[in-house]
Amino acid sequence: MMSSTAFERMFGFARKEVSLGNWREQPYNSWSFQNAGEMVPSARIAAREGLVEDAPIDLGGLLDERMAIDGNEETVAGFLSRSSTDALAVMKKGRFVGDWFAPTMTPDARHIIFSISKSLTAILAGSLEGEGKLDPNAPVTDYVPEAAGSVYGNATVRHVLDMTVSLDFEEAYLDPESLFARYRRATMWNPGGGAESLREFLVSLQQLDEPHGKTFRYRSPNSDLLGIIVERASGQRYAELMSETLWQPLGARRDGFVTVDKEGSARAAGGVSVAVRDLARVGEMMRQGGSSDGGRIVPQAWVEDTIHGGDAAAWQRGTMTNLFAQGRYRNKWYQSANASGAYCGIGIHGQWIYVDPKAEVVISKMSSQPLPVDDPLDLDNVAFFEAICARV
C-alpha cells in the first residue's frame, strides 16, 4: 500500500481530501477515476485466471511527432498532456504496438470508463439476442413489468438500445438541483444517496410530447435500464453476466469492476472500470466481427448492424451532429461516417475506444479531463485518433 507521503507526492493532494462530493473534480479525479470502488460500492467482473499481461510497449519517437489538430501543430506528447490523458493503448492488426501512462497511473490500474460502459452493456444484449434470450423489438415491459406507467411503458428494447426513447430528462452534469442530481444520488454517486434505488428512479421517469423512435436523445438512464433488462433476460447479475459473456472469453487480463446502488443494481450506463489494454481488446473483438481468441462473443450480424445500422434521420434531429455530422448511433456505439468507417464508444471526462477498420487500428484512451463534456476537445480527440491511425 502506498504511504500517505508517496500518495501526496504522486497526486499532489492527500487521500483524505477526496470525498463523494468532489471525486469527479480536478485534481482529485486523477486518483478517484482509478479507484471508483473506494468512492461507490462496486461488484467485481472476474477475468479468467492464469492470464498475464505483457509489458507495456513504449510509444518511442511517436511521442515527438507533430500533428495538425484544429489548425494547430502539436506533438503527440503535448496533446496527451493537454487532454488530461491517464492511459493510452494502441493496437494494429490485433497486436499492441504502443502504450502510454501518465505519472499518476500504472499499467495494472483500472480506470472508470463512464459511458463506454453503455457500449459494453449493449454487447451483453447482443449476445443474449444471439442466444434467443432477448428480443430487441419486444416491449420493455416484457422484461421490466414495473416500468408500466413510466416513459418506458410503451417503449421497446430497440428504443432503449438506440437512445430514441422520448425521455423527459436532461444530462445536466453540473446542476446540483436537477433531476440528473437525483439520478446520481440513486446511483450512490453523490452525497445523500440511498433513499431511492436506481430501479425506483428509472420507473418514475416520464415521456416528452413526442413518440419514441423519432429523435436521438442521449439519456443515460436508458442504459441503466438496459442493465436491468439484460439481468432479467439472462437470470444473472450484471457483473456475473459481464464476466462470463464478455470478460473471460475476451481474454481480459485484469478483473473489472462496476459500481452498484443500494439494491445491488449495476450502473450499466457509466460505472464500469477496466484496464486500458482490456478496453482495447473489446474494440479488437468488435473489429474482428464479434470474435476473440476465446471464441465468438457476439453474433457477427449484430456487429455488422451496430457499425452500419441505425437511423440517420434520428441522429440529425439530435444534438450531437457537431461531433459526427453524418453519424449514426446503434446499439450504444457511435458511427463516425468518416471515410475510414471508424466507430467508437465515448465516456465523459475523456474516455474513448476508437476502432478504425480501414487502418486496422484500435485505440483506447482514458483521461481525467476537468469538464464532463468538452465539445471542442472531443473534436480534437477524433483528429488525434485519425492522426495516430495514419502513423502506426
User: Among residues 115, 127, 220, 292, which one is catalytic?
Assistant: 115
Q: Establish whether 368 is a catalytic residue.
A: no
* Residue with the three cell numbers 449476445: 127
pLDDT in tens, 18-49: 999 999 999 999 999 999 999 999 999 999 99
Band (pLDDT 50/70/90 cuts) for residue 108 is very high
C-alpha cell, 316:
440529425
Mean pLDDT for the stretch of residues 262-286: 98
Distance CA 178, CA 173 (A): 9
CA distances from 262 to 46, 63, 184, 267 (A): 21, 44, 12, 11
**Residue 51, C-alpha cell as written in the block:** 492470464
Distance of CA 69 to the CA centre of its chain: 24
pLDDT digits over 278-334, tens only?
Answer: 999 999 999 999 999 879 999 999 999 999 999 999 999 999 999 999 999 999 999
Please tell me the distance from the alpha carbon of residue 146 to that of residue 334, in angstroms, as a whole number: 30
Residue 271 has pLDDT above 90, yes or no: yes
Q: What is the pLDDT of residue 293?
A: 85
Estimate to the nearest angstrom the gap between the alpha carbon of 94 and the chain centroid: 21
370 preceded by a cis bond (ω within 30 of 0): no
Distance CA 161, CA 118 (A): 9
CA distance linking residue 182 with residue 205, whole number of Å? 12
Residues paired with residue 316 on neighbouring β-strands, in sequence order = none
pLDDT at 57 over 80: yes
Q: What Å distances lie between residue 83 and 76, 193, 352, 355, CA to CA?
A: 11, 31, 12, 19
pLDDT band at 1 (very low <50, low <70, confident <90, very high): confident
DSSP annotation of 53 reads: P
Q: 329-367 as b/e, with b when 16 or more CB fall inside 10 Å?
A: bbbbbbbbbbebebbbbbbbbbbbbbbbeebebbbbbbb
Three-state SS across 13-33? CCHHHCCCCCCCCCCCHHHHC
